[in-house]
Chain A
Amino acid sequence: MYSNNALSFVPDVAALEEAIRVEDLHKYFDSLEVLKGVSLLANKGDVVAVIGGSGSGKSTMLRCINFLETPSSGKIVIGGEEVATRPDGSAADRRQIERIRTRLSMVFQQFNLWTHRTLLENVIEVPVHVLKVPKADAIDRAHALLERVGLDDKADTFPAHLSGGQQQRAAIARALAVDPSAMLFDEPTSALDPELVGEVLTVIRDLAAEGRTMLLVTHEMKFAREVANHVVYLYQGRIEEQGPPAEVFGNPQSDRLKQFLSSVA
């Protein structure tokens, strides 16, 4: 592979740079083992869709990556940097995990826009108060991002006055505002009314098209097949099957995946 720059013939190593690596991740809730050794690799520019039934551990896995849940054991490597952990699995260095989190922005099922701030304030919050970007710059960029998700006219509106779809699009703008190296989507359309799902998927599709690295936990199989270049099927805390979408969806090997796909189709 070569970079787009015609003057340069340096191989484009960035295309193979790893973004998120998960190794042998285990997670217990008390005695219940929710993740039983999950390993996963997402390179820069990958869109990895994680599918599976409820209780399969997909959300837990996603939340372990940025340590919203403390992994019980295993290794999380973000952009080549391993998260240092204590023997109990929790992050050992608060500064390190905070720094890593600013590079991994998350989009939640319940949107979780900060309800006491307007859309604009939501979008500039992390750049200004965590990344210390000058406020005027952050505001300019926030307007551009809100424009991009079709919400710049709502910049001064509070989240409570918006539809779920609008809130989720604003949440995506907020996630983009930190210029993340990878984005984590935790069932971004599951809390939406059916007629609002499309507008959010359109935004995510655009992001995939521009080469954003994304880890996407989703129930939208058609969408996963369309945007992902790698699909992971989780079953009871293990990766049952994974591969390119055409194979996972078109030619499922395991009976469980076959059954799952026929049940959601």
Chain B
Amino acid sequence: MTGLRALFQPHRIVLMLVFAALIVWCALSLRWDWIPKYAPLALQGLWATIWILVVSTVLGFLLAVPLGLAQAVGPWYLGIPARVFCTVIRGTPLLLQIWLLYYGLGSLFPEYPWIRSSELWPYLRQAWPYAILALTFSYAGYEGEVMRGAFSGVSKGQLETAKSFGMPRFTIFRRVWLPQAVRNVLPTLGGETILQLKATPLVATITVVEIYSVSSRVRADTFIVYEPLLLLAVVYMIIAGLIALAFRRLERKIPT
């Protein structure tokens, strides 16, 4: 943190004034009169973005743990499929995965009457389950690779000590191996979560209404192009900042 005295240097004051002027100019000369009308929709979109992000990262991480474990120490019949999954996910564009799931799987399901008549159909005919699924797979693919390294990286001595005290295998995993693996890759996971946030606009292409799609809607309705995008950038930056902050606090809680 820079001290207050250090902030009041001539060149810094100038820069701060320039920045303040820029914000004032944006506020005064650009058009913001559309905001009140679209605020409810924007809030709904913001909520959808956050919700999709949280669900897909949590589910993706839960999937990444066995994927990483299988690759790090699993037998070949688990390790190879896990590696193939991670390679395919990481080797293909996310947009393609979203479309394959939505237009492929999504158009396959209605062909089967038993699916159409099932309890799940009201969900399966919507777009968001496919969005969540694609983003979950994507996060799992990348983090599966990260967790592979994380599990291998936990020192043998730490696990051996747990074993020497008679800890059952699953307790060792839950109490020592997993927490240490996760702690070691927390900085990476934080970065990847921000990347995941910035991947969410892709689901707008399959009609999911999230914050990016709201800005497109404003543009289409009002022909105002620049302002909604500017606001959108600020929103993403704030969310990204909050994620970074949360991960930094988590990291600081446990020193390496």
Q: Is the CB of A100 within 8 A of B179?
A: no
Which residues from chain A contact B162 at a C-beta distance below 8 Å? 114
Q: Is the CB of A129 within 8 A of B171?
A: yes
Q: How many A-B residue pairs have CB under 8 A?
A: 63
Q: Is the CB of B255 within 8 A of A68?
A: no
Residues of A bordering B, CB below 8 Å:
66, 68, 94, 97-106, 108, 110, 112, 114-116, 125-126, 129-130, 158, 160-161, 178
CA distance A72 to B117 in the complex (A): 61
Q: Is the CB of A101 within 8 A of B179?
A: no
Given known pairs A108-B157, A110-B157, the reply for A116 and B165 (CB within 8 Å) is no
8 closest Cβ pairs, A-B complex:
A101-B166, A102-B166, A112-B161, A106-B164, A98-B166, A126-B165, A112-B157, A158-B255
B248 near A: Cβ within 8 Å? no
Nearest CB of chain A from residue B247's CB, rounded to whole Å: 16
CA distance A126 to B158 in the complex (A): 13
Q: Which of B177-225 contact A (CB under 8 A)?
A: 179-180, 183
Query: By the criterion of a CB under 8 Å from any partner CB, how many residues of chain B are at the interface?
Result: 20
Which residues from chain B contact A104 at a C-beta distance below 8 Å? 164
Residues of B bordering A, CB below 8 Å:
157-158, 160-168, 171, 175-176, 179-180, 183, 254-256
Which residues from chain B contact A178 at a C-beta distance below 8 Å? 165
Q: Which of A94, A105, A110 contacts B165 (CB 8 A)?
A: A105
Q: Is the CB of A116 within 8 A of B254?
A: yes
Q: Which of B158, B160, B167, B183 contacts A98 (CB 8 A)?
A: B167
Which residues from chain A contact B163 at a C-beta distance below 8 Å? 68, 101
Q: Which of B158, B168, B255, B256 contacts A114 (CB 8 A)?
A: B158
Nearest CB of chain B from residue A149's CB, rounded to whole Å: 17
CA distance A116 to B163 in the complex (A): 17
Closest chain A residue, CB of each to CB of B175 = A129
Which residues from chain A contact B166 at a C-beta distance below 8 Å? 97-103, 126, 130
Nearest CB of chain B from residue A131's CB, rounded to whole Å: 9
CA distance A167 to B70 in the complex (A): 33
